[in-house]
Amino acid sequence: MTEREKMTAGELYNPGDDELVALRHKAHRLCTQFNQLFETDEEARCAILRELLPTFDEEEIYMQGPIFFDYGVNTFIGKNFYANFNFTVLDVCPVTIGDNVMIGTGCSLLTPVHPLKWQERNKLLEAGKPIVIGDNCWLASNVTVLGGVKIGSGSVIGAGSVVTRDVPPDSFAAGNPCRVIRSIS
């Protein structure tokens, strides 16, 4: 397996691999270019997002900016998506976002996980776990979603939450660590 294949499969991989470094540099360059443009320059912003994200549809996705993606190519976004200021996606593993999802200011989707044993960390190896956000979800401001989490369709995550485990569909969840508060009916 290549280091990229290991990375997206959630296995330990070497982030210093030439292909991965090149992909990260490209994504970081594109994010910087996007972040330097005014919102009124929609054509140029769309061109950048088309290059950064494999499923970009300019009629269906809007990102306020600034945005920060580690790779971009591992993020898959559905229709009618909105992200407010300071949206960060560390997508070493796939990040899948459903249709009609709203992301508040300062949200982070973080798939990387680092070994707990220092002996493995000192080898500069990393791993990741995917994130899945279902349809019709809303993540309020400053929500952090960690790798391996699935947020069920129709759920709302309260401001400032750190989501460390799955959230069932149609739930309101909040806190650090995030927990289900009640069902949304």
Would you please indicate which residues are annotated as catalytic (active-site) residues? 114
DSSP per-residue codes, 107-150: -EEE-EE--SSHHHHTTT-BEE--EEE-TT-EE-TT-EEETT-E
DSSP per-residue codes, 24-78: HHHHHHHHHHHHTS-TT-HHHHHHHHHHH-TT--TTTEEE-S-EEES-STTEEE-
**Length of the chain, please?**
185
